[in-house]
């Protein structure tokens, strides 16, 4: 079984009030030097069988039609390799 990750982020031109709130709070909590924060979503999909071009195309279609609002969000799809020692 393979894991495919879909990361969804607001497009750069879209205001991110949650990211801004986190960015303003960080210095007060002792985390200085961070100039910008953008918040997003991460979806981890466990895929049965091989993750071939057809499987990735279906996942991209799901991301485009269901996981992301493509008017205001961008997304990336990638296969996540298992951590060393995990299979």
Question: Whole-angstrom Cα distance, residue 58 to residue 71?
Answer: 20
User: How many domains, in total, are found in the chain?
Assistant: 1
Res. 81 pLDDT band, cuts 50 70 90: confident
Within a domain: 10? yes
What's the pTM?
A: 0.85
Instruction: Dump pLDDT digits (tens) for 24-77.
Output: 999 999 999 999 999 999 999 999 988 999 999 999 999 999 999 999 999 999
Tokens representing 32 are 């200085």
Tokens representing 34 are 């961070």
Domain CATH number, residue 24: 3.30.1280.10
Instruction: Name 23's Cβ contacts closer than 8 Å, sequence gap at least 6.
Output: 34, 35, 36, 37
Within a domain: 68? yes
Give the structural domain span for 39. 2-79
- pLDDT at site 74: 98
């Amino acid at each position: 079984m393979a894991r495919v990750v879909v990361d969804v982020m607001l497009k750069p031109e879209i205001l991110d009030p949650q990211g801004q709130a986190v960015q303003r709070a960080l210095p007060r909590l002792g985390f200085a030097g961070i100039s910008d924060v953008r918040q997003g979503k991460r979806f981890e999909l466990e895929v049965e069988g091989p993750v071939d071009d057809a499987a990735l195309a279906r996942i991209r279609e799901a991301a485009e039609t269901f996981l992301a609002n493509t008017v205001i969000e961008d997304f990336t799809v990638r296969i996540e390799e298992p951590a060393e020692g995990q299979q």
